[in-house]
Amino acid sequence: LSWAPDIIHCNDWQTGLIPLYIKDNYSWDKLFANTASLFTIHNVAYQGRFGHGTLTNAEITNDLYYPGGPVEFENTVSFLKTGIVFTDIINTVSETYAREILTNEYGAGMQYVLRERQHELYGIINGVDYEVWNPETDKYIPHHFSINDLSGKSRNKKFQLTRLGLPFDENVPLIGIVSRMVAQKGFDLIAQVMNELMKLDCQFMILGTGEDKYENICRSMEFYYKDKVRAYIGYSNELAHLTEAASDMFLMPSHYEPCGLNQIYSLKYGTVPIVRKTGGLADTVQDWNEYNSYGMDVGNGYSFEAYEGFALENAVKRAINDFHNKPVWEKIMKNGMARDYSWRKSAEKYVELYNKAISKRRG
């Protein structure tokens, strides 16, 4: 190509060798003498770990492989660790997750490596494409609506419930879930309090696939509570959009969530998120009751900290209670709809990190 990039933006373990190649394998090539790198971690649990033979296959010098060395991790060659060690700047996909992965609970063993570089570790929330996820233009929903005219949201709810064969009552909240059905997404908590949730005056629309036991729990919820629950085991892009547009609330009780996107979609659609306060969920969802207790009416959802079923249940109850106070509920909806999580804002922050990396590389 005969041109030198100012920066190479590497994403996850699959690109973890690039910073090493720039600084070692191709250090002789003056073309890359000023090329910096940014390494983005989307999920620290995915570490790209391979056997010792990878050193030869990947042309990594044996001098870098020793206990605690820059490419060695628990007797394997880790591409993730390699990227962390050799890149100029590191970031992950939310400020809270950037702090969490420094801890023993969330670091997946990589926390010790990251702590060595914590002053060069940043968090930037993922952006969303509002040309695709926008209730004013969404091609998958029958009734468009906006922050200035919410009437279409109730019509979407009625459309969705009628289509699903569930009774429509504007005073009964519909709670949506679009997720992989796995413990990491909090389905173990849902299983803990399933019977208690079914006693509440609300309905559920659940969409996704995952572990058999959680799929079967969702099927049983629909079987035993035919007037309250519909579970679609599979994935439908149309149904995902409809669920966002029609639901009054959106449940995301994740054990950990580096960023999360569905809570951001939900905010745009006036679908009030109920989340566990972790990772990107903590950065994008502000608990209405918590902020209201400080005299601030800026909350846009509900959150809980303890990874316990009762904490999830309590958050859902608080949301349902406020749902019946229509002026308060509309305020919460509009607080969320007014937020801007477009890629434009995230891109501006990435440009800042590019400049940091370039400055560091060039000294």
Mean pLDDT taken over the chain: 97
Strands lying side by side in the sheet with 229-233: 229-233, 203-208, 174-178, 249-252, 272-276, 302-304
Residues contacting 5, CB < 8 A, separation 6+: 35
Angle at 149 between CA 147 and CA 153, to 5 degrees: 85
pLDDT band at 77 (very low <50, low <70, confident <90, very high): very high
Give the C-alpha separation, 265 to 184, whole Å. 20
Domain residue extents for the chain = 7-127+344-362, 151-337
Q: Which two tokens stand for residue 169?
A: 């009552």
Domain spanning 7-127+344-362: which superfamily? Glycogen Phosphorylase B; (3.40.50.2000)
Number of Cβ atoms within 10 Å of the Cβ of 230: 22
**Mean pLDDT of the region 252-276:** 98
- Look at residue 363 and tell me whether its pLDDT is greater than 90: no
**Mean pLDDT of the region 17-22:** 98
Residues 256, 235 contacting (CB under 8 angstroms): no
C-alpha separations of 361 from 10, 27, 28, 32, 70 in Å: 15, 13, 16, 11, 19
Domain spanning 151-337: which superfamily? Glycogen Phosphorylase B; (3.40.50.2000)
- To the nearest 10 degrees (0 to 180), the angle between helices 151-164 and 237-246 is 130
Residues 158, 150 contacting (CB under 8 angstroms): no
**Mean pLDDT of the region 300-304:** 98
- Look at residue 1 and tell me whether its pLDDT is greater than 70: no
pLDDT at 346: 95
**Mean pLDDT of the region 315-325:** 98
Give the C-alpha separation, 226 to 257, whole Å. 31
Question: Is the model's pTM score more than 0.85?
Answer: yes
DSSP secondary structure letters along 75-134? TEEEHHHHHHHH-SEEEES-HHHHHHTTSTTTSTTTHHHHHTTGGGEEE-PPPB-TTTS-
pLDDT at 323: 98
In this predicted model, what pLDDT tens digit does every residue of 180-224 receive, in sequence order? 999 999 999 999 999 999 999 999 999 999 999 999 999 999 999
pLDDT at 2: 78
In whole angstroms, what separates CA 147 from the centre of its chain? 24
- Look at residue 279 and tell me whether its pLDDT is greater than 70: yes
